[in-house]
Amino acid sequence: MPRKTMARQSDSYTNLADIYDLLTKDSDIQGFYRAWRDSLLKAVRRYGLEVHTLVDLACGTGNTAIPWTERGWTVVGVDRSTAMLRVARSRSRRVRWICQDITQLHLKQQADLVTCHFDALNHVLAPEKLQRVFINVARILKKGGLFQFDLNTDHWLKWLAAHEKLFPKGQHFMVAHNEYDRKSGIATFHQLWFLRKGSLYAKREVSVQERAYNAAAIRDMVQSAGMRLVEATVQKRLEGRPIRMLYVARKPGA
């Protein structure tokens, strides 16, 4: 990801950290969280894994990492945003929170499971950087370990670019305006937040970018990293076409 883009997105999450969980309270998003957990547990049973350690990449404020601590596992949450991790640390001390860019991951921790959710990998705009993420995951996974991740599809990014929306979030409001560059395949999401403070509203602007990767490209990257794609599931459709995919990759050897 170009330096300029990385800086812009890092700044965006600094602005978003304290209001991020207003987004994740959405019933559809909560449904995704439950589905990801259920799917991963089914995969664990299918492959007979004995799980001790889970690493959650791009963990944000901890929504996908913290629930796993209830199973008695060692849980590590990794994110490059210090602001997001500050919120995560305030929510749980049972997770080991680490500030790192997942494209430059250098964990010593070996894991039975690695997860990366809420279209975090779509934020990796350069294919060679995404390939590096898969290589990093394969390096920290134990033999037989699983990597579960989800991705938005090209159809969803294009659809979002054609629709502006007003979202009420409790006493706050968010206006979404999105753009899609057909040449680069990159979508830019602009969020204009109006946060109620007493009788007034404070305005806050957030912009992030995503790029879609098709299933064939993902399969090739996973294989190039030394893993095997064992599941590719359509998690949600719009207009009869997939808009979110859920994947599971496995490191061979066990």
Per-residue confidence (pLDDT) for residue 3, from 0 to 100 = 35
Evaluate whether 152 touches 210 at the Cβ level (below 8 Å): yes
Indicate the angle between helix axes 82-91 and 3-16, nearest 10 degrees.
30
Statement to judge: residues 146 and 170 lie in one domain: no
> How high is the pLDDT of residue 9?
44
Specify whether 79 is located in the same domain as 14.
yes
The verdict on 113 and 12 lying in the same domain is yes
3-state secondary structure the chain: CCHHHHHHHHHHHHHHHHHHHHHHCCHHHHHHHHHHHHHHHHHHHHCCCCCCEEEEECCCCCCCCHHHHHHCCEEEEEECCHHHHHHHHHHCCCCEEEECCHHHCCCCCCEEEEEECCCHHHHCCCHHHHHHHHHHHHHHEEEEEEEEEEEECHHHHHHHHCCCEEEEECCEEEEEEEEEECCCCEEEEEEEEEEEECCEEEEEEEEEEEECCCHHHHHHHHHHCCCEEEEEEEEEEECCEEEEEEEEEECCCC
Q: Using the structure block, give the residue that is written with the tokens 């990257």.
A: 221
For residue 169, give the amino acid letter.
K
Count of structural domains within the chain: 2
13 and 66 assigned to the same domain: yes
Same domain, 109 and 140: yes
pLDDT value, residue 8? 39
| Domain ranges, residue 94 | 3-152+213-250
Residue 6's pLDDT is: 37
pLDDT reported for residue 197: 87
Per-residue pLDDT in tens (0 to 9) along the chain, 254 residues: 333 333 334 456 777 788 787 777 778 889 999 999 999 999 999 999 999 999 999 999 999 999 999 999 999 999 999 999 999 999 999 999 999 999 999 998 899 999 999 999 999 999 999 999 999 999 999 999 999 999 999 999 999 999 888 888 788 888 989 999 999 999 999 989 898 889 999 898 888 999 999 999 999 999 999 999 999 999 999 999 999 999 999 999 86
Give the per-residue pLDDT at 21.
76
Do both 83 and 200 map to the same domain? no
52 and 171 part of one domain: no
CATH number (domain holding residue 198): 2.20.25
Asked if 7 and 83 sit in the same domain, the reply is yes
Read off the pTM.
0.92
Residues 197 and 222 both lie in one domain: no
Same domain, 26 and 148: yes
- pLDDT at residue 51 in the model: 98
**Residue 120: which CATH number?**
3.40.50.150
189 and 82 both lie in a single domain: no
* 42 vs 218: CA distance, rounded Å: 22
For residues 119 and 232, state if they share a domain: yes
